[in-house]
Amino acid sequence: MVQQVLYRALVSTRWLAESVRAGKLGPSLRVLDGSWYSPGTRDARKEYLECHVPGASFFDIEECKDKSSPYEMMLPSEAGFADYVGHLGISNDTHVVVYDGDHLGSFYAPRVWWMFRVFGHRTVSVLNGGFRNWLKEGHPVTSEPSRPEPAVFRATLDRSLLKTYEQVLENLESKRFQLVDSRAQGRYLGTEPEPDAVGLDSGHIRGSVNMPFMDFLTEDGFEKSPEMLRAMFEAKQVDLAKPLIATCRKGVTACHIALAAYLCGKPDVAIYDGSWFEWFHRAPPETRVSQAKDGKA
């Protein structure tokens, strides 16, 4: 594994609160609320408008994606991403801090973190503990929407951090990459259904290892220590010195695997963007593994 100086992937609530208090938010430091919730549960944009970190902008993951794709949450084009984040006042010189309001402490924030990285932006961090702990610790909030001055962002896709269906299919034979699935165990095994899914059975890609993303977080919603994360990878016989592809259902919680590996000093985990949703609809049946009776979860 190539040793390099890695940008801090996590910032603390205390650090961000001090930055807000000192008036440091602006062109050099932007905060994003990347919350998303299943339809019919919570309204992320509404919650943002009611209460958010002062100066934070709302990053709408439903807007910043490839809307022409038949798959769930595929990356937008370079131009699409650059235009979207530029309107949020983010340039290539901006330090971006992203959080979400999930009760776990973090859910969608690592996806936004990875999106910036895959488009060539390295100065991006996740708020450790998320909005849950920001509120719990009594840090300031506001309902005032931010109106940043638009900036110019130049996006360059880093294909080493992204894998396609064809590449994952080829990997079943070459086995150059380890494949790790971040979904809950029941969905991985095929014994529990995929939530809010029509025509999508659960199960996993042949040869993948299961590491549920929730296990990377403490009960209080913080990221576990690098030492604990390393032990988790070792327990699953995932070698961080070797190439690794992370997958899930739609390329979101897979980014928790990339973040955990990054915290262990491995910055090159690739995400299979289409993940199980694309694989289920495209891959040969013999490459899909499920313990469900009659093939149904």
Residues with catalytic roles: 248
Alpha carbons 44 and 115: distance in angstroms, whole number: 19
With contact defined as beta carbons under 8 Å apart, do 139 and 17 qualify? Answer: yes
Amino acid type, 218: T
In the chain, the amino acid numbered 2 is: V
Q: What span, in angstroms and rounded, lies between the C-alpha atoms of 44 and 245?
A: 29
* Tokens 């993303």 sit on residue: 213
Measure Cα distances from 167 to 74, 157, 182, 220 in Å: 16, 17, 19, 37
How far does Cα 266 stand from its chain's mean position?
A: 16
Token code pair at residue 170? 């080829």
Nearest-angstrom CA–CA distance, 281 and 176: 24
